[in-house]
């Protein structure tokens, strides 16, 4: 089978490396796990579980909520949501290796009754209509070119009054050719509209109470510090993962940083409600 195009993003290679992180803490590959320990390694977005706490507050997620997490990665946000609030989560993930690993980590956390993992493309997945109180998504929407279908799937999934919480990337200015190469290869960017076009798409999909929160000024220093911290810890990290993994992730972190530093890449926390 050919390698999916999204694997041009180094973050999605060698995803089993999380076992190296856990082994360095003395945790074997079948040992039980806790969300607290795992959450240092399984949040593939900015500001880790603080960002998930923000979603809990902004989307009003509680013990009775049903939540759909789109592009759930290794399942970090989904497990944290379920553990902190008691909600039930359906976690949709496109990549089969990430999804299988997510499922096994959830089981080892004892959360399989609360978090259901589904390997699917959100664009074509048969979503149960009007069945979710909240839809959440971190750094997935910019991977998906067809935002119209994406937003109609989200709209369909939500109950009336349901909340959408999305963290995503958008465009502040036109990229040059070198930046575009980083964006399309290393970040696998497929859809990066300007702010007005982004909000208009959400409005046209039927959403109300749209709040486009520009997070660029907090995400830019975060990604710069990540590059510096990764370099400072290189020796320790190579001992855990080996050079190839450490250098591959360093290249990914560098590309993200370069694009934010260009002033052309933006970060958004978008909130909206289905009327
Ligand atoms: C940057 S990762 C973030 C993972 C997770 N949300 C987190 O914050 O830890 C984005 C994820 O979206 C997934 N994704 C991209 N396109 C998708 C699609 N069409 N359907 C479902 N998942 C998708 C990717 O495979 C990737 O795992």
Angle (deg, nearest 10), helices 216-232 and 243-261: 150
Best of 68, 93, 119 for a ligand 1 pocket test (most atoms within 8 Å of beta carbon): 93
pLDDT at res. 209:
98
121 CA: nearest ligand 1 atom? 20
C-alpha 221 to ligand 1 mean position (Å): 23
C-alpha 137 to ligand 1 mean position (Å): 8
Find all residues with CB under 8 Å of 232, minimum gap 6, and list them: none
Does the structural domain 5-171+191-215+265-273 have CATH classification 1.10.274.10?
no
C-alpha 103 to ligand 1 mean position (Å): 15
122 CA: nearest ligand 1 atom? 20
Sign of CA dihedral 260, 261, 263, 269: positive
137 CA: nearest ligand 1 atom? 6
Chunked into runs of 10 residues, the chain (275 residues) has average pLDDT values of: 89 96 96 97 98 98 98 98 98 98 98 98 97 98 98 98 98 98 97 98 98 98 98 98 98 98 98 98
pLDDT at res. 1:
66
98 CA: nearest ligand 1 atom? 27
The response to whether residue 45 sits with its C-beta less than 6 Å from ligand 1 reads: yes
pLDDT at res. 207:
98
pLDDT at res. 35:
98
C-alpha 99 to ligand 1 mean position (Å): 10
Stated pTM of the model: 0.98
Token pair in block for residue 254: 């560098």
C-alpha 234 to ligand 1 mean position (Å): 27
């Amino acid at each position: 089978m050919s390698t999916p195009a999204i694997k041009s993003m180094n973050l999605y290679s060698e995803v089993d490396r999380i076992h190296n992180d856990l082994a360095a803490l003395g945790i074997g590959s079948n040992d039980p796990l806790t969300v607290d320990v795992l959450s240092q390694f399984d949040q593939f977005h900015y500001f880790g579980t603080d960002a998930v706490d923000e979603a809990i507050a902004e989307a009003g997620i509680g013990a009775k909520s049903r939540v759909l997490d789109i592009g759930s990665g290794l399942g970090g946000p989904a497990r944290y949501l379920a553990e902190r609030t008691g909600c039930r989560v359906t976690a949709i993930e496109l990549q089969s290796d990430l999804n299988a690993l997510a499922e096994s980590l959830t089981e080892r956390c004892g959360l399989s009754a609360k978090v259901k993992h589904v390997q699917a493309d959100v664009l074509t997945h048969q979503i149960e209509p009007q069945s979710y109180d909240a839809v959440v998504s971190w750094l997935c929407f910019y991977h998906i070119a067809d935002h119209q279908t994406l937003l109609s799937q989200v709209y369909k999934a939500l109950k009336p009054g349901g909340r959408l919480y999305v963290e995503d990337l958008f465009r502040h200015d036109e990229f040059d050719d070198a930046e575009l190469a980083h964006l399309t290869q290393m970040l696998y960017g497929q859809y990066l509209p300007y702010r007005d076009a982004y909000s208009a798409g959400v409005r046209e999909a039927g959403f109300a109470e749209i709040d486009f929160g520009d997070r660029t000024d907090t995400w830019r220093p975060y990604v710069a510090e990540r590059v510096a911290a990764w370099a400072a810890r290189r020796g320790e990290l190579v001992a855990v993962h080996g050079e190839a993994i450490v250098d591959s992730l360093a290249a990914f972190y560098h590309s993200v940083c370069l694009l934010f530093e260009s002033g052309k890449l933006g970060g958004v926390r978008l909130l909206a409600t289905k009327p």
